[in-house]
Copies of this chain bind each other. A is one copy, B any other.
Amino acid sequence: MRKIAILGIGQTKIDEHWDLSLREIGGNAAFAAMQDAGMDKVDALFVGNMLSPLIDGQNQLGTFFSDWIGLWKREAVKVEAACASGAAAFRAGLIAVASSDVESALVVGVEKMTDKAGHDVTAALATAADADYEVEQGISFVGINALVMRRYMYEFGWKHEDFAPFSINAHANAVHNPYARLHEKITVEKFEKSSMVATPINLLDASPIGDGAAAAIIVPAERVASVSGRPRITVAGSASATDSIAVHSRKDPLFLAAAYESSKRAYEIAGLRPQDIDVFELHDAFSIMSALSLEACGFAERGQGVRLGLENKIAPTGSIPVCTRGGLKARGHPVGATGMYQIVEVVQQLRGECDKTQVDGATIGMAQNIGGSGATILTHILQAD
Query: Which one of A50-58, A185-193, A351-359 is at the interface?
Result: A50-58
Across the interface, A66 reaches (CB within 8 A) one of B1, B79, B80, B242, namely B242
Contact B100 A60 (CB under 8 A): no
Q: Check A1/B100 contact, CB under 8 A, given A62-B376, A244-B67.
A: yes
Chain A 70-112, CB-CB to B under 8 Å as 1, else 0, gives 0111111111111000001001100110111100000000000
Q: Check A81/B63 contact, CB under 8 A, given A21-B132, A53-B53.
A: yes
Across the interface, A73 reaches (CB within 8 A) one of B72, B81, B241, namely B241
Across the interface, A240 reaches (CB within 8 A) one of B75, B261, B376, namely B75
Contact A95 B88 (CB under 8 A): no
Residue A243 interfacial (CB < 8 Å): yes
Query: Which one of A123-131, A201-209, A281-289 is at the interface?
Result: A123-131
Contacts of A63 in B (CB 8 A): 81-82, 242-243, 245, 371-372, 375-376
Closest CB in chain B relative to A247 CB, distance in Å: 12
Cα distance A241–B72 in the bound complex, in angstroms: 8
Contacts of A241 in B (CB 8 A): 73-75
Q: Check A135/B243 contact, CB under 8 A, given A78-B81, A257-B73.
A: no
Chain A 232-259, CB-CB to B under 8 Å as 1, else 0, gives 0000000111111110010000000110
Closest CB in chain B relative to A96 CB, distance in Å: 6
Interface size, A (range): 35 or more
Contacts of A67 in B (CB 8 A): 242-246, 249, 375
Q: Check A258/B131 contact, CB under 8 A, given A62-B376, A78-B80, A99-B1.
A: no
Least CB separation from A336: chain B residue: B59
Least CB separation from A75: chain B residue: B240
Cα distance A353–B261 in the bound complex, in angstroms: 41
Residue A31 interfacial (CB < 8 Å): no
Contact A245 B128 (CB under 8 A): no
Residue in A79, A80, A127, A132 whose Cβ sees the most chain B Cβ within 10 Å? A80
Cα distance A257–B72 in the bound complex, in angstroms: 10
Contact B21 A261 (CB under 8 A): no
15 contacts between A and B (CB under 8 A): A58-B130, A59-B127, A60-B127, A63-B81, A64-B130, A64-B245, A73-B242, A74-B241, A74-B242, A75-B241, A76-B81, A78-B81, A79-B80, A79-B92, A95-B99
